[in-house]
Structure 1
Amino acid sequence: MTLGSVAAGHPLTADAAAEALRAGGNAFDAAVAALCAACVAEPVLASLGGGGFLLARPAGGAPEVFDFFAQTPRQRRPAAETDFRPIVADFGDAAQEFHIGLGATATPGAVAGVFAIHAALCRLPIADLFAPARDMARQGLAMTAFQHGINRIVEPILRASTQALALFADPDHPDRLAPVGTRMRMPDLDYALGVLASDGPDVFYRGDWAHRLTRDCAERGGQLRLEDLASYAVVRRPALSRRYRGAVVHTNPPPSQGGSLIAFTLALLQQVDPSAWGQGSAEHLDALASAQELTQRLRRDGAFEHADWAAALEPETLDRFTALMREAAVFTRGTTQISVADAEGNLASLTLSNGEGCGYVLPGTGIMLNNMLGEEDVNPQGFHRWPRDRRISSMMAPTLVALPEGCWVVTGSSGSNRIRSAILQVITNLVDFGLDVERAVAAPRLHFEGDLLNLEPPLAAETLAQLAGRWPSIKTWSQKSVFFGGAHTVLMDARGCASGAGDPRRGGVAIEVSA
């Protein structure tokens, strides 16, 4: 008997979700178990010191978002007193500057999110959902090539403190990062999950951990105070829903930007018929790039300049979204995606992020805190000018799609600004071209940003020549890349049978779970 399907960024993350389904849990139990497991199996991308979103659709119910993303502090510390410093991450063919330190940490929401989701939607005891992550943390797991590659990219962050390096170091050579195949253990995180299972979230937001974190912030240049942690609350919102041809897309609403921008781009694409050109044709890719370019213009200027395209959008919605997006700070960095559908028809799309991590580890817990105040997009007028006590906006866009034939798709993506383009292309591959879920996820992607059109292979020379006449700045990638996101996706058909596809760009896996 099929119990459901899971797609995630690591085999053990997916296994934890599958274990919850086999134990009688639903899709939301599976998502919570996978979130905790990801903090062990994907520790740079996922942490209880970060935050995220769950888009939940209980069987027969309306999709709803649980927003447990980070919140800006209530007060700003003078910049001269703040632990806030740049590091450079080496991506091989490019380098990028990030800012870390306790002064880059916003109020985390992941712990509150886990407990809010559990109270509202889950059926298994929370200790049971923590158990797979605790077992992994205690017994250890082998360092994969993908995770090792991520660690090398952000090595300056992992070396920011002895406590951070200890989480990722070779046990036999503690002065260097663990190589591929090394068995990594996280005993402090095992302990922390045990405390949370018995004591609940108050230990993090009001208890001993809160006092230790805020004391360290006060003494070592952080921004967080006890009132920031004690006042944090998960926000539940109706999903943003929009029709796209015969499908209905449900995604993350404002104040986060990602879902709104996907909805706008779909509205633009609806004015043309990509299926008439063929998937991957020059005309198809040009339409995708044009829609992304115009959506970028909306984000930058708050309005489209071309009336023909703007006519596809409701003025009231455009005004409301533009106002909300202008008010919110924006966060766009590293994430991991968990997608689950169960045989009862429950659907869970969960996106989790820790940024790159700030380099500070809460003592005794193995939990690295986020660096979400150290992102340029949060500070368009310069660092240390973020709006106070406000939920940080995000490009993260956990998404559900109701297809015309009665199927449901659960998707979302990691990938910074590429999140929205990855999700968009999975949707159009399914709706416009009728691809199955595995091909829809694996198909080559493009992403337009700034003035540059990024194209993923394979790409015919004739197609590239046609696009070059329209887009003067093109970068053609030599292979599929993490740059283009990680859209781990599952599909539930009208008969209750589920299938999935992990995104190969980010080591994704999919499991069809049977009793």
Structure 2
Amino acid sequence: MESFESDNIMQTHAVAAGHRLTAQAAETTLQQGGNAYDAIIAAVLMSFVSEPLLSSPGGGGFLMVSGPGQTPKLLDFFSNTPLIDSDNLAPSDWDFYPISGNFGDKSQEFHIGRAAAVVPGVVAGIFKAHEKLASMPLTQLALPAIEAAAKGIEVNRQQAFVAKILTPVISASQEAEQLYHGLTHGAVWKNKQLADFLDTLSKSDTDWFYRQPMSAKMYDSADCLLQANDFARYKCVIREPLLIQCGDYRVLTNPTPSTGGLLIADQLKHCQNTATQQPVFDAMFAMEQNKNKRLSTVSRGTTHISVTDNRGHLAALTISNGEGNGFVVPDCGFMMNNFLGESDINSEGFFNWTSGQRMRSMMAPTIIHHPNNQFALGSGGSNRIKTAIFQVAYHLIYNNSLLKTAVERPRMHIENKHLDLEPGFSGADIDHFKNRVDVTQWQNHNLYFGGVNAVQTGETIAAVGDFRRHGCGLVGLKNDGISEG
């Protein structure tokens, strides 16, 4: 993990992301005078290059923003269900099939294929954020990503590991295999088509992406469930955040129709209303017992970016491409999502949707306000997102932990009456857990338990990139550039 934390006398801003290049794109933008929102746009564009199997123009996500004199808001650019009626559709009649991703100690099944994709919302979210919040031209914000894609990046261990997990996805089509086969540790990976796509995108408007001929590249197949009207009707939605008051802490997170924020709120409220020796476990256990009260949803292939600037603005952005559907958009260098192929996000079963509705998600970018300090955080990690963010927030709020400590503490995850534990829990703790649930003790820390990338501003400025996903945290210095752990 890369991180930095100190008094704010010499600090100006902080960035945390899932990859060094993603964080550096934001840092460069802030050094050039951009605000937190400029920086997070530059960072998400770079993430398409540096984290290509986790972040894509073919995906969806959410952006939480807050700042002095500004009403906090949540930009929802997750995907809608197809407009086509699902009543007479059968998965077996379409390009839609299961594969398995292997995390090492655990594997998960998901479905891919052309019929697994829905309209991506990321581009609409970028343009809405730029219109409402940014101060720099989009062409300037996109430049680091364009240059990196054209010149090539060195593949780090994390992205090589993700590529290994998703081998069935990147082997699903000849185009995907050609594009992604080079994602091996230490290799230089170039994506000239993505560079050209980003260059054109930065000089266009949102209509260019969601109208023909560009949109047709994403649905022009007999095996695809999408139509031109699915793209033409798509909009980014601005929502009022869900607010939870925990003593002196105000927690802002993702509201309905998504469920991740609601589940985080439930767990934090449980900790307020109970006094036990194991409040984190008990809150998660109670949520598991009552999980039918909330629709469980999932976005597995996710990454998160957090930024604060020297004016006190905070931005937290989580983006997902699912696992990708296995097919590269022609001449564009990116893969479409497979959100229709994730079982938890389709809680009523595959091919059983209400037409044209916003899909639910577990993603929950979160901002925490305190009189002395403010935090922006979020996580990737499937349905572990809710428990990863909750555990970090718990340590910040109830244990008054340093940000680095809160992120590094060992994590747990309960699902279907089974508890997964990272190394670091005491024998007494484990015995307590075993009296309540079945327990699996993992041998190593793992991206399975999420990747919380978080920043802090106020009396202390800090940035922490989660070591579980090789995250990067950078803090800007007034006199000496940047610093990192």
Work out the CA distance in 2 between the residues paired with 1:406 and 1:112. Answer: 35
Aligned to 2:289: 297
Whether 1:340 aligns to 2:307 is yes
Work out the CA distance in 2 between the residues paired with 1:398 and 1:135. Answer: 28
In structure 1, give the amino acid aligned to 2:47: A
In structure 2, give the amino acid aligned to 1:391: R
Number of residue pairs matched by the alignment: 466
Work out the CA distance in 2 between the residues paired with 1:294 and 1:228. Answer: 39
Q: Aligned match of 1:256 in 250, 255, 258?
A: 258
389-398 or 194-203, which deviates more: 194-203
For residues 291-370 of structure 1, the aligned pairs below 5 Å read: 291-300=283-292, 302=293, 330-370=297-337
What's the CA shift string for 1:431-490, capped at 9, x where partnerless?
Answer: 11111111110011111111012221112223322332x324111111211111001111
Work out the CA distance in 2 between the residues paired with 1:461 and 1:213. Answer: 52
Instruction: Give structure 1 regions of 4+ aligned residues with deviation exceeding 4 angstroms.
Output: none
Residues 27 and 148 of structure 1: is their aligned pair in 2 closer, same or farther, counting only changes over 3 Å? same
Asked whether the 8 Å contact 2:103–2:448 carries over to 1, the reply is: no
Whether 1:388 aligns to 2:355 is yes
Whether 1:104 aligns to 2:116 is yes
Q: TM-score, normalised by structure 1?
A: 0.88
Aligned to 1:23: 32
For residues 170-181 of structure 1, the aligned pairs below 5 Å read: 170=182, 178-181=183-186
Aligned to 1:315: none
What's the CA shift string for 1:142-201, capped at 9, x where partnerless?
Answer: 11111111101110100111111122123xxxxxxx431110001000000111111222
SS of structure 2 residue aligned to 1:362: coil
Asked whether the 8 Å contact 2:218–2:336 carries over to 1, the reply is: no
SS of structure 2 residue aligned to 1:487: strand
Whether 1:466 aligns to 2:403 is no
Asked whether the 8 Å contact 1:378–1:386 carries over to 2, the reply is: no
Asked whether the 8 Å contact 1:158–1:168 carries over to 2, the reply is: yes
Q: Aligned match of 1:190 in 174, 195, 218?
A: 195
Residues 86 and 76 of structure 1: is their aligned pair in 2 closer, same or farther, counting only changes over 3 Å? farther
Work out the CA distance in 2 between the residues paired with 1:248 and 1:399. Answer: 10
Aligned to 2:443: 478
Aligned to 2:148: 136
For residues 56-95 of structure 1, the aligned pairs below 5 Å read: 56-76=65-85, 78-79=89-90, 80-95=92-107
SS of structure 2 residue aligned to 1:74: coil
Asked whether the 8 Å contact 2:288–2:417 carries over to 1, the reply is: no
Superposition CA RMSD, Å: 1.6
In structure 1, give the amino acid aligned to 2:334: I
Asked whether the 8 Å contact 1:76–1:223 carries over to 2, the reply is: no
CA shift, 1:76, in A, is 4.1
CA shift, 1:60, in A, is 2.7
Asked whether the 8 Å contact 1:25–1:123 carries over to 2, the reply is: yes
Gaps of 5+ in 1: 171-177, 275-282, 303-321
Asked whether the 8 Å contact 2:48–2:55 carries over to 1, the reply is: yes
Work out the CA distance in 2 between the residues paired with 1:247 and 1:346. Answer: 17
Work out the CA distance in 1 between the residues paired with 2:58 and 2:412. Answer: 32
Aligned to 2:7: none
Whether 1:225 aligns to 2:243 is no
CA shift, 1:260, in A, is 0.7
Gaps of 5+ in 2: 1-9, 479-485
Q: Aligned match of 2:214 in 203, 209, 214?
A: 209
Of structures 1 and 2, the one with the larger relative CO (CA 8 A, separation 6+) is: 2
In structure 2, give the amino acid aligned to 1:147: Q
CA shift, 1:91, in A, is 2.2
Q: Aligned match of 1:500 in 463, 466, 469?
A: 463
Residues 76 and 100 of structure 1: is their aligned pair in 2 closer, same or farther, counting only changes over 3 Å? farther
Work out the CA distance in 2 between the residues paired with 1:406 and 1:62. Answer: 19
Higher helix share goes to which structure?
1
Aligned to 1:455: 421
Query: Percent of pairs identical after alignment?
Result: 38
Work out the CA distance in 2 between the residues paired with 1:331 and 1:392. Answer: 11
CA shift, 1:366, in A, is 0.5
In structure 2, give the amino acid aligned to 1:47: S
Work out the CA distance in 2 between the residues paired with 1:3 and 1:108. Answer: 34
Q: TM-score, normalised by structure 2?
A: 0.93
CA shift, 1:273, in A, is 4.4
Work out the CA distance in 2 between the residues paired with 1:195 and 1:149. Answer: 31
Residues 76 and 156 of structure 1: is their aligned pair in 2 closer, same or farther, counting only changes over 3 Å? farther
Q: Aligned match of 1:14 in 12, 17, 23?
A: 23
Residues 452 and 115 of structure 1: is their aligned pair in 2 closer, same or farther, counting only changes over 3 Å? same
Asked whether the 8 Å contact 2:105–2:442 carries over to 1, the reply is: no
Work out the CA distance in 2 between the residues paired with 1:33 and 1:196. Answer: 13
Asked whether the 8 Å contact 1:334–1:353 carries over to 2, the reply is: yes
CA shift, 1:82, in A, is 1.7
Asked whether the 8 Å contact 1:289–1:453 carries over to 2, the reply is: no
Aligned to 2:379: 413
Q: Aligned match of 2:406 in 437, 440, 444?
A: 440
Work out the CA distance in 2 between the residues paired with 1:71 and 1:377. Answer: 15
Asked whether the 8 Å contact 1:330–1:392 carries over to 2, the reply is: no
What's the CA shift string for 1:221-279, capped at 9, x where partnerless?
Answer: 111100000000000001100101221100000000000111111111101346xxxxx
Residues 207 and 514 of structure 1: is their aligned pair in 2 closer, same or farther, counting only changes over 3 Å? farther
Aligned to 1:312: none
